[in-house]
Structure 1
Amino acid sequence: MIHLPYEVYKTTGWLAELGVSGMAQFMALGQCINVIGISILEMFYHRFQAVVIFRSKAYLTLPYYVLNIFRFLTFIHLLVFIWGRFDSRVLMLQEKTKQELFRKNPGLPSELGCFTVFIAVMEDAVFITTVSAWGVLVVLGLIVIIGSVAFIMQVLKKANTLSVQTKKMQRMLVFSLIAQVSIHGFMIALPISVQIYEWIFIIYDNNFGTLMLFFVAYHGFFSTCAMIVFTTQIRRKYLEFSRLFCRKDAAPIVLNNQVGASSTNFESAIT
């Protein structure tokens, strides 16, 4: 839950019920987003390795080195998360900023002073390091994705030893990844961009902020739907399983002749 136009993020889930602070949940959410980013980049890099087998030219090693930098910064973010959990100054800055916010806005709900509330503190080294790391990770992720796609398309265009069907399949897999990452990028990058915008300017509509949280929460579901729609093999298997579960069962019907012996067996669908 967010409370615009204030830079406040309030956690209301079961972790809050267990006593986990809002700052810890905010940092953990950021770490989970980083892990999602790594998984996306690993899919693109795996496709890059499958197509671009010979990487003798120096620029073809760019995705490898950039991906390793992304992994390293994700590990640094984890260390920052652990640092923020044990550094008492982080909690002191949180409480000080909340008190200043209540002093400037006496009519704020008292629940915003709860320990499950996280507030943006520009003087906090942990917060600034986290946001800065996110910005760098976004740039690195774009380099890996754009570079991998460009190199794959370049190799497929020049390859003379690959059949037409193989090229078509590889392009289909790349387009499927692009569709998935577009959903991830839109539904994650947009809320982050809105948050940065809200730090500089003012957004009064809290419903808009709730919509941004919906994007973050359900981006994985929509990405999975895109994978099923744009990947031919997965789509076919999905349709086969759907028909299997929707198929009607058949029950045998036995007809007896006049002497009591069964003479005919056939199946009839149960409706």
Structure 2
Amino acid sequence: MTRTVEMYKCLQQSPQIYRLLMHYLHLVTIPLYSVSIYVLVSKTTKEHRVRGLHILINATNDISAIPSLPFNGNSDVFDLNGLLAFYALMYLIMHIFISILEMFRFRYNVVIDQTSMSYSIVCNLYKVNYGFCILSPIIAGCALPSCLSHQLLYKNQLFDRYNDAVPIEIMCNTAVIAPPITDTVTLLNLSIITILCVLGGIIITTTTRGILKKLDEMSSNMSARTVALQRMLLISLVVQGLVHCIMLIIPIATFLYAIVYVLTNDVIAYIGILVISFHGSFSTIAMIIFTKPVQDGIKGLFRPIVERRSTIQLSAVAILWNKSM
């Protein structure tokens, strides 16, 4: 039996505080991203320009795409299919995952001898990782027509199983439900995501250990200041990676728990989406805190403004002093 739902029920608004945070707080992050990208591109080395590209990716995803996709974003207004929005959000997260690995690869290439065996192994791991990243959307794209029809089938089966105890809003075009684990496409995508997570963990661990080992070897024939700078850059990179992982993995794990078990608290879901949406901002803040060249670049950018303001204030004081005399 096919069920229908009135359009107005599909366009019910989320809590006001959530809408304000999701759609307008991102505007506050624009100066943060703008200053960081400008400093990284124009004031620092090639390595920092790569980080600038990573921040640009975060900014593009966070400010434009992520607020528009889930939970009463623009996708709801235009009645975009929920499965398409879910796939888009998933591949945006995968895109961020790739950009994080690229930063580790660039740092690794700068330090490690490119003729060594470990370098070849890491390069091959990256190739395999990229292969799976390309394979996942290809599978999803080819199976999309079947997945869309199965979504409707699974929704009706859900109603039949629980005697219409399920909210009718689940039939909205913008809603998406988790298919059975036995679904072929779901099984393939979950397998690919698991492989990507394992490969990502191996790549990050291998590159970090390789860089630390190389820095220990370099300490005997390089200045302490140079080695300290390289360690600082690595620490900054690791902290950024941890911020991304924590702010992505915890919400995703919560959503997976909600899929397998029952999670009736909508507030947790709203918080999870907000955390995912602002992980790029927190990663950028961590990069600024742990990277001294970037701090110096930002200080240099604002120093003329501060000095000019101080000069104006001193001039005003001098004028008042002269008048009092």
- With the shorter chain as reference, the TM-score category is 0.7 to 0.9
Q: CA deviation at 1:77?
A: 1.3
Give the alignment partner of residue 147 of structure 2, picking from 81, 84, 90. 90
- Give the TM-score of the pair, scaled to structure 2: 0.69
Structure 1 window deviating more from structure 2 (41-50 vs 203-212): it is 203-212
Which letter maps to 2:166? Answer: L
Per-residue CA shift, 1:125-184, capped at 9, x if unaligned?
Answer: 223322222111111111111110100000111223322111111100000001100010
Separation in 2 of the partners of 1:124 and 1:204? 25
Q: Is the contact made by 2:179 and 2:186 (CA closer than 8 Å) also made in structure 1?
A: yes
**Aligned equivalent of 2:212:** 153
Give the alignment partner of residue 157 of structure 2, picking from 97, 100, 103. 100
Once the two structures are superposed, the pairs formed by residues 1-271 of structure 1 within 5 Å of their partners are: 11-56=71-116, 58-85=117-144, 87=145, 89-103=146-160, 104=162, 106-122=164-180, 123-159=182-218, 160-246=220-306, 247-248=308-309, 267-268=315-316
The structure number with the bigger radius of gyration is: 1
Structure 1 window deviating more from structure 2 (118-127 vs 173-182): it is 118-127
Q: Is the contact made by 2:113 and 2:119 (CA closer than 8 Å) also made in structure 1?
A: no
Separation in 2 of the partners of 1:27 and 1:55? 39
Q: CA deviation at 1:63?
A: 2.0
Q: Structure 1: state its 5+ residue gaps.
A: 3-8, 252-265
Report the structure, 1 or 2, having the larger strand content: 1
| Identical positions, percent | 27
Q: CA deviation at 1:54?
A: 4.5
Which letter maps to 1:82? Answer: G
| Structure 1 runs of 4+ with >6 Å offset | none
- Give the TM-score of the pair, scaled to structure 1: 0.82
Give the aligned CA root-mean-square deviation in angstroms: 2.7
Q: CA deviation at 1:96?
A: 1.4
Q: Is the contact made by 1:10 and 1:112 (CA closer than 8 Å) also made in structure 2?
A: no
Q: Structure 2: state its 5+ residue gaps.
A: 1-12, 15-68, 320-325
- Partner SS state of residue 188, structure 1: helix
Q: CA deviation at 1:12?
A: 2.2
Per-residue CA shift, 1:232-269, capped at 9, x if unaligned?
Answer: 01012223334444552756xxxxxxxxxxxxxx9547
Q: CA deviation at 1:82?
A: 1.6
